[in-house]
């Protein structure tokens, strides 16, 4: 697995998947996430924590009847549009891109050098969530500004 930049994340994106078990397996294969904890009953994932370096995402099964579920929608309910997405710092964006494409990620912005620094790409996962992966590390880029 390609190691991410040495950063500490205190913001944890939370996602809901129609087939959360399949999503966990795919996120491992395509993006390199590793399960830290998975709490499930049969097909329903109540809560899962997946890590990538020092970063984490949490996910669970879609449940529009739950208190939390009433406040969010799945990408397939809004024509794939998103109001937020996850950005993950990776050490080797080209290798990460190749891995994601091989696993079937739908690339929406091809890998390229970015004007603000770093190199990256954007893609959708198996259920349509939008992700950005790149080498730009805002903590390192602005370390001398403080």
- Residue 13 — pLDDT band, cuts 50, 70, 90? very high
Fold of 14-145: 2,3-Dihydroxybiphenyl 1,2-Dioxygenase; domain 1 (3.10.180)
pLDDT > 80? residue 3: no
User: Which segment of 30-39, 42-51, 70-79 scores lowest on mean pLDDT?
Assistant: 70-79
Rounded to an integer, the average pLDDT of 107-129 is: 96
pLDDT per residue over 93-109, tens digit each? 999 999 999 999 999 99
57 with 12: CB under 8 angstroms? yes
pTM (2 decimals)? 0.86
Cα dihedral across residues 75, 34, 55, 68: positive or negative: positive
Give the whole-angstrom CA distance, residue 27 versus residue 55. 14
Q: What six digits make up the tokens of 26?
A: 């795919």
What pLDDT does residue 35 have?
A: 98
Give the whole-angstrom CA distance, residue 16 versus residue 23. 9
What pLDDT does residue 143 have?
A: 62
């Amino acid at each position: 697995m390609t190691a991410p930049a040495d950063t500490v994340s205190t913001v944890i994106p939370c996602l809901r998947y129609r087939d959360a078990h399949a999503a966990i397996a795919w996120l491992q294969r395509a993006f390199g996430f590793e399960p830290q904890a998975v709490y499930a009953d049969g097909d329903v994932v109540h809560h899962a924590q997946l890590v990538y370096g020092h970063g984490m995402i949490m996910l669970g099964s879609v449940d529009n009847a739950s208190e939390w579920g009433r406040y969010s929608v799945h990408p397939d309910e809004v024509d794939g549009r998103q109001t937020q997405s996850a950005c993950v710092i990776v050490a080797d964006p080209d290798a990460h891109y190749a891995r994601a494409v091989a696993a079937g990620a739908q690339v929406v912005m091809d890998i390229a050098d970015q004007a603000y620094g770093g190199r990256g790409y954007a893609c959708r996962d198996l259920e349509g969530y939008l992700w950005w992966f790149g080498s730009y590390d805002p903590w390192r880029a602005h370390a001398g500004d403080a």
